[in-house]
Each structure stands twice: as structure tokens, then as C-alpha cells.
Amino acid sequence: MHFEFNIEGGNFSKAGTASSQLKKILKQLNVDPKVIKRVVVALYEAEVNVVAHAYTGQIFIDIDTNKIEIKLVDEGPGIPNIELAMQQGYSTASPAVREMGFGAGMGLPNIKNNTDELHVASEVGKGTTVKMAIFLIS
Amino acid sequence: MKIKEVVNLLNAKIVSGEYLLDTEAEFVFASDLMSDVLTIEKDNLMLITGLANLQTIRTSEMSDINKIIFVRKKKATDEMIQLAVENDIILIECDYSMFKTAGILYQSGLKPVY
Ligand SMILES: Nc1ncnc2c1ncn2[C@@H]1O[C@H](COP(=O)(O)OP(=O)(O)OP(=O)(O)O)[C@@H](O)[C@H]1O
Ligand SMILES: [Mg+2]
């Protein structure tokens, strides 16, 4: 199954709508609730990152019997040092983002924690691509 | 402890999920930082928070948190209540500080996540 969603940068009231949709889909597919939580928390973190740090983005989700693959492609400032961004506590979030309850530099490490595969690629001035996978059969 | 006891102890008001008053609460986490909340693995958690916006509800939806207590007189908006109803999340508004709220519930036997 394939699904696509758009993300609006800066629009916090819509942040999480894709994750919410995916949660409903996975529930319908009778996926283990523990796996659902890992998937939707990881996607939500990535979705909020596009809303908080980029201008616009797209989400591509592929679900098959063995795994769930998610790709987020955004147009935005990009990440100059991905290794640094992956470290817990590193954040360039604006005061507005912090007011929303985010910007602690915990999102990328939390995505890593919740997924079986994570790959972040970025070009400064262009945008960022985050690919993640969660296996359904261990 | 049942939600209705929590509401009584805190002299609080339930604004969404009244039909869930007999639900049991066991583990509680207190934070204003959603980044933190998203790292908690426990399910059916109760959240104490002073952050009242739509992302509080979204974060709870993703984290399988089904009870939220807003402290420091923070109020849930209609939009927040609507999203909470869609996800069977109980919303409670409380006038006490986060410290007092957490203290009362801890003393009454509700458990910390760590
Ligand atoms: N899609 C993105 N586009 C541009 N920069 C990004 C993107 N995602 C992450 N970053 C950069 O990486 C940093 C770390 O991201 P991470 O998700 O770990 O923390 P955060 O978003 O700042 O805070 P939190 O996730 O705790 O709310 C960000 O502050 C930002 O500088
Ligand atoms: Mg983040």
C-alpha cells in the first residue's frame, strides 16, 4: 500500500495530521499497537521537524507485510552537520517553536530509537530527506 | 485510582471524556515539553502539563496518552476538545500548580514512569 501526504512548513495547527492518518490505517490493518506507537511517534517527530525547520514537505509511506517504509522530503534550509543534529540536545529551534512545546533537540534521536533503519540526507539551502523503516516481522 | 477520584482530589473540572470517569489511572508523567513526552514508552499514561495547545493533544494521540490534566488554570480550546473527543482522550482542567498537582497524585498512590 502506498500513501502520500503534504506538510506545510510553519503550520503547527496541522502538524501531525499525516501521523494521525497513518495511525488509523495501521489500526485497521491490525498492526501490533507497540509497533504502531513506534511508527507514529517517529513520523510525528519527523513531521514536526518539517513544520518547525523547513518550508514545505511531502511524505511517502509504503506498507507491505514485512515492513513500513517512510520517506519525508522537504524544501528548506537543510542541515549543515547531520552528525551534530543527531545528537541529543542539539537544536536550532526558534522561540516560537519552543513555545509550542518543542525544540529540545530530542526528535532525531527519538526517531532513531523508534525505528529499525534511519537515513538522513541533506543539502544546505535546498532541503532534507529523512528515510526510515520499521520491520513488522522480527 | 479512578479518574473521578483524581478530579475530586484536584478540585478539578473534566472538559472532555466525561463518559470515561470510571477509567483507571496508574502511571503519570508531568512535563511542559512535548519533546520529552514523546520519548516515554509507557501506554495509557496520564499527562500533567501546563502546555495547552493542539500539539499537546496530537502528542498524546501519538504517545497513547489517554488522560491529560492541564494545570496552572490553563484551558482547553474547542479545537483541542474536538481532537480529544475523536481520540477518546480525557481532558481535565485544574487550577493548581504542576508541583501541587503532582504532589497530591503521588501521595495518593499514582506511580511515576521513572
Ligand atoms: N527537516 C529539517 N530541516 C532543517 N533542519 C532540520 C530538519 N530536521 C532537523 N533539523 C535540524 O536538526 C536539529 C535537531 O533536530 P531534532 O528533531 O533532534 O530537534 P528539534 O527539532 O530542534 O527539537 P525537538 O525534536 O526536541 O522538538 C534541529 O534543531 C534543526 O537544526
Ligand atoms: Mg524535532
Amino acid at site B17: G
Q: Which fold has domain A2-135?
A: Heat Shock Protein 90 (3.30.565)
CB atoms within 10 A of CB A96: 12
In CATH, what is the architecture of B3-112?
3-Layer(aba) Sandwich (3.40)
pLDDT digits (tens, 9 = 90+) for B63-111: 999 999 999 999 999 999 999 999 999 999 999 999 999 999 999 999 9
Residues of chain A positioned with their CB less than 8 A from the CB of B39? 106, 110, 113
Q: How confident is the model at residue A138 (pLDDT cuts 50, 70, 90)?
A: low
ipTM: 0.94
Q: How confident is the model at residue B52 (pLDDT cuts 50, 70, 90)?
A: very high
Its pTM stands at 0.96
On whether the CB atoms of residues B2 and B22 are closer than 8 A, the answer is yes
Phi, psi of B32 (to 5 degrees): -100, 0
* Start-to-end CA span in chain A (Å): 20
Crossing angle of the two packed helices B54-62 and B78-86, in degrees rounded to 10: 10
Rounded CA gap, B106 and A54, in Å? 41
Q: How far is the CA of B20 from the centre of ligand 1 (A)?
A: 36
Cβ of A100 within 8 Å of Cβ of B34? The answer is: yes
Q: Which of B39, B51, B62 has its CB closest to that of A101? A: B51
Sketch the domain layout of chain A as residue ranges: 2-135
Closest ligand 1 atom to residue A49 Cα is 8
Q: Which of A33, A48, A104 has its CB closest to that of B33? A: A104
pLDDT digits (tens, 9 = 90+) for A3-54: 999 999 999 999 999 999 999 999 999 999 999 999 999 999 999 999 999 9
pLDDT of residue B111: 96
Q: How confident is the model at residue B43 (pLDDT cuts 50, 70, 90)?
A: confident
Cβ of A16 within 8 Å of Cβ of B61? The answer is: yes
Residue spans of beta strands (DSSP E) within B1-114: 13-16, 27-30, 45-49, 65-70, 90-93, 111-112
